[in-house]
């Protein structure tokens, strides 16, 4: 007898329908699995055999052929187990119910229990778009499915429960739909209130987040650069449902989704400086997995000690920084992952780290400092609008009880500035996304401002490439001050965030 | 450029990159340098004892080769190098009085500067930003009465160049020959000095920088100048060698004072203890020479700028200290501070600290 059961395979961030066709014939007992399965899929036969037996069903001692159609895409992972098991049960007549239009997803344990699979959320979204309404998924993935409206997701604990549900013996009710509550559940561990002093750096962070600018923190070791960076997600505006869904899709594919079901706090990724280009940008041998920059989508990518990263890894960031997406091409095909993140980098001011320190002496020669800074290429630095110094905090400040502003207050101001920008661009764009045309349209400079800009270039020896960066940052500062026009003090403050240019 | 036969003989002798002592020994054997060429073969053995057999062979071969000297001279001319020998009228008189005056000064740039009054400003590579800015300002002011003489390193020397380059009244004394100019740490800047001011070295073009060429170079800086200002220097800084030469040659030595224990200025403080004049501003130097150079008041300050500027004493201030003194927020201060930096009143010392120039 022949049976057909539907499942879904993951290609990049999208799901493709896969039909598990099972045929059982008389002959020498055998089990053939065809349709470009990878090792994990091939091993499913052992799991399915034991799961059926331990659920009180029979595994037929006949010739079994399972075909995963379409046969031309590579199938990966263990989420086909359930579909194959149901297919065998139907083909042997142990299950009579109609499975037409139901999508089966999940990995089987030897005792018949259903294990959660990775990438369930993007599969559900794709399947919904393809017209499928009913899904049977592992109970461990229920939280993910709860956020999708208009589908009937049945979360089952084990194979027996699936059987009982399908045959109508003990029907399971679908996972109740959960509404996304913006920014309620999410909690950030780090708060600006815990960062003592550093008023300049905090202000720079606020400006950076308000305008979507990338930021470079320059300071001696142990001055709280990492702590400051970790505060960034907490002052970013709460994610919308669409944003959260996008992030969840990526995290689901990468298999790093927590129990919450949906990622509702902005991701903060800090890959170590030994990270390879592939781990950063995404890749893999056959199917492509998202890299750190995609995992940081709608959040923060923090590069601690930026000059220590491999040059090629840093250079690879340039294109995604510009486009907000990355296309990874492998022999198995090309996949585009979203990678719209805020870059926060940190570095020491010089090789010994003490340049500009009040109490320790820098032993570096100017030539050594130039060489150290040259490790970060100009084109990459060009994409970092704000460069600010983080300095040693005095002990009195650290020990002091002075109350610092908390992240919530900063976030309010950021959200207000973002609103101004939304109104300006009539969309979710930020000031950092402005091109030459928008610059001309929205950033008219008065003659006084032009004069100041010219003066600052001359006396502070700024590079010419910094000009549009300064204007964009000045626009953000003006937005924060709710000023229609860019005033001289906005330009000057923006100039003060070009520390890297005028330090030496 | 026309050279006399003595000068040509000097250039010939110098083209073998001999040590100063060996050149002096060879020249001592003869009445005048030309005789070293004309009577070379008579004294071959003595010369050989000084320079060694291999070198003697090279020198002998060059004398048989009629095109040798012409080749050297035209190569210099193509590279824009003028040779000012100790027989030349352009040779600075003051330098003659120094120890071991160089036989030839290879020059690139405006030779007229050699005839003017000269003052040296030197500093170590590790010069704090506020001292560098102040040196730059003094160099700018002094360049109206003096040609500024300095070296070619980062830090203090670069600050002196930055101050005087615009007026073109700048001489940089190099510790290597001109062939190594483009690969030097400040190659680009030095090429601009060659365009507007003057580059000087006692080394033939092919001579590269060695450990010993730097102190030897310092004696030329001290020898050329009427006075030397040391803007920074640690316990073992080369600037102390320059100052020592200047003192020995009877020049005035000036130095910036530094805080107790500041490793960037320990050498300066030691100089002040020994013989240097404590120098804080232009007038401390001009008063010694009896000249009057008033610094032109560059720009007027707004009331907000004045309020911030008045917070500063000698030491650098952190932005939070300025905020505490003025009662303003830090981010309101940064536009004012940047403006003051553009007006050259303040300088950023790194780590969000600022100092008066």
A462 → chain B, closest CA residue? B342
Interface test mutation site (partner B, options A492, A498, A499, max chain B beta carbons within 10 A) = A492
Domains of chain A in sequence order: 2-167 (3.30.230.10), 192-427 (3.40.50.300), 434-504 (no CATH)
Which candidate from A357, A397, A459 shows the least CB-CB separation from B342? Answer: A459
Cα–Cα dist B33/B15, whole Å = 14
Residue A356 pLDDT more than 60? Answer: yes
Which candidate from A197, A355, A492 shows the least CB-CB separation from B339? Answer: A492
Cα–Cα dist B305/B296, whole Å = 19
In chain B, what residues touch A358 (CB-CB under 8 Å)?
Answer: 316, 318, 351, 353
In chain B, what residues touch A393 (CB-CB under 8 Å)?
Answer: none
Range in B72-81, B221-230, B284-293 with the lowest mean pLDDT: B284-293
Interface test mutation site (partner A, options B128, B266, B352, B354, max chain A beta carbons within 10 A) = B352
Question: B120 near B149, Cβ under 8 Å?
Answer: yes
CA distance B352 to chain A (A): 6
Interval A189-238: pLDDT, tens = 888 888 888 888 999 999 999 999 999 999 888 888 899 999 999 999 98
Interval A35-48: pLDDT, tens = 888 888 888 889 99
The fraction of chain A above a pLDDT of 90, given in percent, is 46
In chain B, what residues touch A363 (CB-CB under 8 Å)?
Answer: 126
What is the pLDDT at residue B83? 93
A353 → chain B, closest CA residue? B351
Q: Do A391 and B263 touch (CB under 8 A)?
A: no
Which candidate from A203, A363, A459 shows the least CB-CB separation from B331? Answer: A203
How far CA B189 is from CA of A128, A353, A368, B225, in Å, comes to: 66, 27, 18, 22
Interface test mutation site (partner A, options B262, B338, B343, max chain A beta carbons within 10 A) = B338
Higher pLDDT, B2 or B259: B259
Q: Given pLDDT bands bounded at 50, 70 and 90, which one contains residue A504?
A: very low
Q: Given pLDDT bands bounded at 50, 70 and 90, which one contains residue B298?
A: low
Q: Given pLDDT bands bounded at 50, 70 and 90, which one contains residue B345?
A: confident
Higher pLDDT, B180 or A40: B180
Q: Do B125 and A489 touch (CB under 8 A)?
A: no
How far CA B212 is from CA of A204, B188, B209, in Å, comes to: 48, 24, 8
Distance of CA A381 to the CA centre of its chain: 23
Which candidate from A356, A363, A364 shows the least CB-CB separation from B349? Answer: A356
Average confidence (pLDDT) over B285-294:
85
What is the pLDDT at residue B342? 84
- Is cis: bond before A41, omega within 30 of 0? no
Which candidate from B125, B318, B336 shows the least CB-CB separation from A358? Answer: B318
CATH class held by domain B109-289: alpha beta
Q: How many CB atoms lie within 10 A of CB B273?
A: 9
The chain A residues in contact with chain B (CB within 8 A) are 197, 199-200, 203, 219-220, 349, 355-358, 361-367, 389, 391-392, 397, 452, 455-456, 459-460, 488-490, 492-493, 495-496, 502-503
Q: Which helix (H) or strand (E) holds A207?
A: helix A199-211
- Read off φ and ψ for residue A275, nearest 5 degrees: -55, 140
**What does pLDDT average to over chain B?**
90
Percent of chain B as helix, strand, coil, to the nearest 5: 45, 15, 40
Q: Given pLDDT bands bounded at 50, 70 and 90, which one contains residue A186?
A: low
In chain A, what residues touch B350 (CB-CB under 8 Å)?
Answer: 349, 355-357, 389, 503
CA distance A298 to chain B (A): 27
Cα–Cα dist B92/B162, whole Å = 24
CA distance A239 to chain B (A): 28
In chain B, what residues touch A501 (CB-CB under 8 Å)?
Answer: none
Which candidate from A200, A365, A493 shows the least CB-CB separation from B126? Answer: A365
In chain A, what residues touch B151 (CB-CB under 8 Å)?
Answer: none
Interval B240-281: pLDDT, tens = 999 999 999 999 999 999 988 888 899 999 999 999 999 988
Interval B124-164: pLDDT, tens = 988 888 899 899 999 999 999 999 999 998 889 999 999 99
Which CATH number applies to B303-356?
A: 1.10.10.10
Q: Do B341 and A349 touch (CB under 8 A)?
A: no
Range in A252-256, A412-416, B7-11, B56-60 with the lowest mean pLDDT: A252-256
Question: A335 near A288, Cβ under 8 Å?
Answer: yes
Q: Do B339 and A199 touch (CB under 8 A)?
A: no
Residue B346 pLDDT more than 90? Answer: no
Interface test mutation site (partner B, options A195, A200, A503, max chain B beta carbons within 10 A) = A200
In chain B, what residues touch A397 (CB-CB under 8 Å)?
Answer: 320
Residue A398 pLDDT more than 80? Answer: no
What is the pLDDT at residue A11? 83
Q: Given pLDDT bands bounded at 50, 70 and 90, which one contains residue B297?
A: low
Cβ–Cβ contact B38 with A under 8 A: no
- ipTM, two decimals, is 0.77
Cβ–Cβ contact B125 with A under 8 A: yes
A500 → chain B, closest CA residue? B350
Cα–Cα dist B15/B58, whole Å = 11
Which candidate from A203, A356, A495 shows the least CB-CB separation from B338? Answer: A495
In chain B, what residues touch A496 (CB-CB under 8 Å)?
Answer: 334-335, 337-338
Interval A436-448: pLDDT, tens = 888 888 888 899 9
- Read off φ and ψ for residue B130, nearest 5 degrees: -70, -35
Q: How many CB atoms lie within 10 A of CB B275?
A: 13
Cβ–Cβ contact B335 with A under 8 A: yes
Which candidate from A355, A397, A455 shows the least CB-CB separation from B350? Answer: A355
3-class secondary structure, A7? strand
How far CA A256 is from CA of A117, A247, A252, A262, in Å, comes to: 11, 11, 6, 11
Average confidence (pLDDT) over B153-180:
93
Cβ–Cβ contact B321 with A under 8 A: no
Q: Name the pTM for this structure.
A: 0.81
Q: Do A366 and B353 touch (CB under 8 A)?
A: no
Q: Do B331 and A200 touch (CB under 8 A)?
A: yes
- Quote the strand ranges of A161-312, DSSP E: 215-218, 268-269, 282-283, 289-290, 300-303
In chain B, what residues touch A224 (CB-CB under 8 Å)?
Answer: none
In chain A, what residues touch B155 (CB-CB under 8 Å)?
Answer: 365-366
In chain A, what residues touch B185 (CB-CB under 8 Å)?
Answer: 367
Residue A451 pLDDT more than 50? Answer: yes
Q: Given pLDDT bands bounded at 50, 70 and 90, which one contains residue A396?
A: low
B262 → chain A, closest CA residue? A361
Which candidate from A364, A496, A503 shows the least CB-CB separation from B334? Answer: A496
In chain B, what residues touch A362 (CB-CB under 8 Å)?
Answer: 126
Q: How many CB atoms lie within 10 A of CB A108?
A: 28
CA distance A494 to chain B (A): 8
Cα–Cα dist B352/A356, whole Å = 8
Cα–Cα dist A478/A417, whole Å = 9
Smallest Cα–Cα separation from A425: which of A486, A382, A487, A475?
A: A475
Beta carbon pairs, A and B, within 8 Å: 89
- Token pair, residue A114, equals 């259903």
Residue B37 pLDDT more than 90? Answer: no
Interface test mutation site (partner B, options A454, A496, A500, max chain B beta carbons within 10 A) = A496
Instruction: For Cα atoms A349, A291, A182, give the angle at the middle one, nearest 5 degrees.
Output: 90
Cα–Cα dist A434/A425, whole Å = 9
Residue B88 pLDDT more than 70? Answer: yes
């Amino acid at each position: 007898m022949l049976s057909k059961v539907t499942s879904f395979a993951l290609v990049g961030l999208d799901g493709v329908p896969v039909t598990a066709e099972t045929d059982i014939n008389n002959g020498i007992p055998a089990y053939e699995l065809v349709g470009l399965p990878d090792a994990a899929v091939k091993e499913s036969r052992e799991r399915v055999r034991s799961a059926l037996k331990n659920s009180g069903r029979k595994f037929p001692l006949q010739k079994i052929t399972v075909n995963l159609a379409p046969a031309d895409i590579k199938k990966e992972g263990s989420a086909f187990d359930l579909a194959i098991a149901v297919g065998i049960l139907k083909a042997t007549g142990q299950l009579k119910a109609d499975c037409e239009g139901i999508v089966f997803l999940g990995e089987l344990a030897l005792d018949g229990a259903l294990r959660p699979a990775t990438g369930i959320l993007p599969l559900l979204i794709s399947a919904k778009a393809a017209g499928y309404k009913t899904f049977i998924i592992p109970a461990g993935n229920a939280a993910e499915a709860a956020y999708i409206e208009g589908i009937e997701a049945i979360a089952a604990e084990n194979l027996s429960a699936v059987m009982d549900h399908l045959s109508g013996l003990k029907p399971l009710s679908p996972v109740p739909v959960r509404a996304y509550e913006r920014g309620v559940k999410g909690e950030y561990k780090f708060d600006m209130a815990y960062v003592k002093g550093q008023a300049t750096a905090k202000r720079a962070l606020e400006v950076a987040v308000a305008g979507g600018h990338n930021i470079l923190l320059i300071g001696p070791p142990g001055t709280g650069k990492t702590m400051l960076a970790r505060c960034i997600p907490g002052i970013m505006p709460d994610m919308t449902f669409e944003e959260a869904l996008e992030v969840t899709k990526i995290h689901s594919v990468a298999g790093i989704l927590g129990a919450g079901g949906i990622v509702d706090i902005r991701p903060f990724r800090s890959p170590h400086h030994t990270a390879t280009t592939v781990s950063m940008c995404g890749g893999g041998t056959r199917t492509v997995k998202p890299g750190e920059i995609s995992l940081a989508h709608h959040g923060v990518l923090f590069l601690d000690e930026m000059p220590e990263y491999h040059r090629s890894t840093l250079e690879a960031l340039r294109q995604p920084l510009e486009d907000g997406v990355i296309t990874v091409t492998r022999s198995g095909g090309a996949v585009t992952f979203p990678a719209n993140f805020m870059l926060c980098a940190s570095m020491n001011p010089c090789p010994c780290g003490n340049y500009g320190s009040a109490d320790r002496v820098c032993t570096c020669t100017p030539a050594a400092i130039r060489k150290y800074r040259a490790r970060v290429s100009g084109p990459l630095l060009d994409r970092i609008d704000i460069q600010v110094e983080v300095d040693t905090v005095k002990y009195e400040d650290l020990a002091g009880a002075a109350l610092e502003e908390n992240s919530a207050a900063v976030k309010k101001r950021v959200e207000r500035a973002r609103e101004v920008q939304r109104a300006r661009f009539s969309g979710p764009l930020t000031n950092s996304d402005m091109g030459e045309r928008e610059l001309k349209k929205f950033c008219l400079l008065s003659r006084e401002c032009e004069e100041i800009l010219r003066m600052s270039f001359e006396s502070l020896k700024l590079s010419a490439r910094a000009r549009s960066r300064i204007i964009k940052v000045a626009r953000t500062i003006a937005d924060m001050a709710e000023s229609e026009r860019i005033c001289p003090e906005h330009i000057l403050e923006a100039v003060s965030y070009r520390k890297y240019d005028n330090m030496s | 450029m026309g050279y006399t036969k003595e000068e040509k003989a000097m250039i010939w002798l110098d083209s073998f990159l001999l040590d100063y002592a060996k050149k002096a020994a060879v020249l001592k054997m003869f009445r005048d340098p030309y005789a070293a060429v004309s009577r070379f073969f008579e004294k071959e053995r003595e010369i050989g004892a000084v320079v060694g057999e291999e070198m003697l062979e090279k020198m002998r071969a060059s004398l048989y080769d009629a095109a040798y000297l012409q080749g050297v001279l035209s190569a210099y001319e193509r590279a824009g190098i003028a040779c000012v020998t100790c027989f030349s009228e352009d040779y600075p008189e003051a330098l003659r009085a120094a120890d071991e005056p160089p036989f030839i000064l290879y020059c690139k740039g405006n030779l007229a500067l050699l005839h003017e009054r000269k003052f040296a400003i030197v500093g170590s590579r590790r010069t704090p930003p506020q001292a560098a800015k102040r040196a730059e300002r003094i160099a700018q002011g002094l360049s109206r009465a003096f040609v500024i003489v300095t070296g070619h390193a980062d830090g203090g020397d670069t600050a002196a160049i930055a101050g005087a380059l615009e007026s073109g009244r700048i001489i940089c004394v190099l510790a290597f020959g001109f062939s190594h100019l483009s690969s030097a740490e400040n190659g680009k800047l030095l090429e601009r000095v060659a365009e507007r001011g003057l580059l000087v070295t006692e080394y033939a073009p092919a001579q590269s920088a060695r450990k010993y060429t730097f102190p030897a170079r310092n004696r030329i800086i001290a020898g050329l100048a009427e006075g030397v200002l040391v803007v920074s220097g640690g316990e073992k800084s080369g600037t102390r060698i320059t100052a020592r030469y200047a003192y020995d040659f009877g020049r005035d030595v000036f130095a910036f004072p530094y805080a107790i224990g500041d490793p960037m200025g320990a050498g300066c403080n030691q100089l002040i203890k020994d013989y240097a004049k404590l120098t804080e501003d232009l007038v401390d130097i001009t008063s010694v020479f009896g000249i009057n150079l008033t610094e032109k008041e560059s720009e007027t300050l707004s009331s907000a700028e004045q309020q911030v500027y008045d917070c500063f004493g000698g030491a650098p201030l952190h932005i939070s200290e300025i905020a505490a003194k003025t009662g303003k927020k830090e981010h309101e201060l940064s536009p004012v501070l940047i403006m003051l930096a553009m007006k050259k009143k303040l300088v950023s010392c790194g780590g969000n600290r600022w100092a008066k120039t």
